[in-house]
Copies of this chain bind each other. A is one copy, B any other.
Amino acid sequence: MRKRVTLADVAARAGVSTASASLVLNNRPGTRLSATAAARIRAAAEELNYRPNHTARSLRLGSTRTVAFLSADVTTTRFASAMILGLLQEADAREHTVLIAETGNDAARTERALLTMLDRQPSALILGFMQARRIHVPPVPSDVPVIMVNGASDEQHPTVLPAEHEAGRQIASVLADAGHTDIAIIGYDPNREPDWGETVTIGARFAGIDEVIAERGLRVTGYRARRWDPDVGFEGMNELLDSGAEFTGLICLNDRLAFGAYQAMQLRGVRIPDDVSVVSFDDDVIAAHLRPALTTALLPYEEMGRRAMEMALSDSIDPQNLLVPMPIQLRDSVRELRS
């Protein structure tokens, strides 16, 4: 393919000025060009396969139709792609494209990435986090909106977060509604270690669970853990079982913990859900494939991405903070207790 065809080429072929061509091709309302001239221009554009030079247009208009997405930790989780997909879908629907950069968890790198992005004059800036955190965002020109997905900023930018509090309530209620009163929790931290403060969402998840425990008068044994990995779940379950604690229901703070707990129970002949009913959070890819399939609260990253883009591109940022529901995926890991 040869050099790109410019507006001037189209205009020349149609025998008009670039001004007229521009007017017609953008079908500006109120333009007073003859119908025949307009037709000639359109035909020329068609024949030459004209596509406007986006860079030139951006320079003139002062707006690139581009949204910059800065992500902390694209890699550490399989959820990132869901979020990106949501962003991309909504951006596409609104005829914008997405610039993406990785910031790591590093303030200096974040600042650098942010400046690089700002140099490209994006229409909006979206900061995404895989482990919901609160960070400091360097100042940004006031005309470019900043949206935080699954995180928060000291500067009070609008956020999109999962509705963890409600999910905590619902997940605990699943167990309570099924008649379970003796509950074990893996990953729980009754003392709310200070580090949890860094993550914006987990506190709400705990609070939701706590409320239901209090309201329903549940008896609880907890296994504290900060790292939520399968091995921890494995270890935790073994410890709970060894302690002789009595429980028929188990809440795992995420699916990876649940995965480990499953392994421990299987090895010791504890049957799910006959002996212990399990509920959890995230709806990780494995959750549906565990045996029995795991009941869990879905982390709605795709929807969050979509909503973030929506907020970024709508002129009115009405809801400063948006909570996206975490639908409960009811599967086979919970048994109805006959009382």
| Interface presence of A35 (CB below 8 A) | no
| Interface presence of A12 (CB below 8 A) | no
| Known contacts A102-B92, A289-B230, A139 near B84 by CB under 8 Å | no
Closest to A56 in B: B59
On chain B, the residues within 8 Å of A119 by CB distance are 51-54
Assembly CA distance A4 to B118 (angstroms): 10
| Interface presence of A74 (CB below 8 A) | yes
The size of the chain A interface, using a CB distance under 8 A, is: 56
Closest to A259 in B: B289
* Interface residues in A102-126 (C-beta closer than 8 Å to B): 102, 115-121
CB distance from A232 to the nearest CB of B (A): 11
Q: List 25 A-B contacts (CB under 8 A).
A: A1-B141, A4-B141, A51-B119, A53-B59, A53-B119, A54-B119, A54-B120, A54-B121, A55-B59, A56-B59, A74-B85, A75-B82, A75-B302, A81-B84, A84-B84, A88-B102, A97-B101, A97-B116, A97-B117, A99-B100, A100-B100, A231-B289, A256-B289, A263-B291, A266-B266
| Known contacts A55-B121, A289-B260, A291-B263, A85 near B81 by CB under 8 Å | no
Copies of this chain, tallied across the complex: 2
| Interface presence of A89 (CB below 8 A) | yes
On chain B, the residues within 8 Å of A80 by CB distance are 80-81, 84
Are B140 and A1 interface neighbours, CB within 8 A? yes
On chain B, the residues within 8 Å of A85 by CB distance are 74-75, 102
Are A102 and B89 interface neighbours, CB within 8 A? yes
Q: Mask for A1-23, Cβ within 8 A of B = 1, else 0? A: 10010000000000000000000
Q: Mask for A259-271, Cβ within 8 A of B = 1, else 0? A: 1100100110000
* Interface residues in A241-275 (C-beta closer than 8 Å to B): 256, 259-260, 263, 266-267
CB distance from A132 to the nearest CB of B (A): 17
**Which residue from B51, B59, B81, B100 sits with its C-beta under 8 Å from A75?**
B81
Assembly CA distance A33 to B53 (angstroms): 35
Q: Mask for A25-59, Cβ within 8 A of B = 1, else 0? A: 00000000000000000000000000111111011
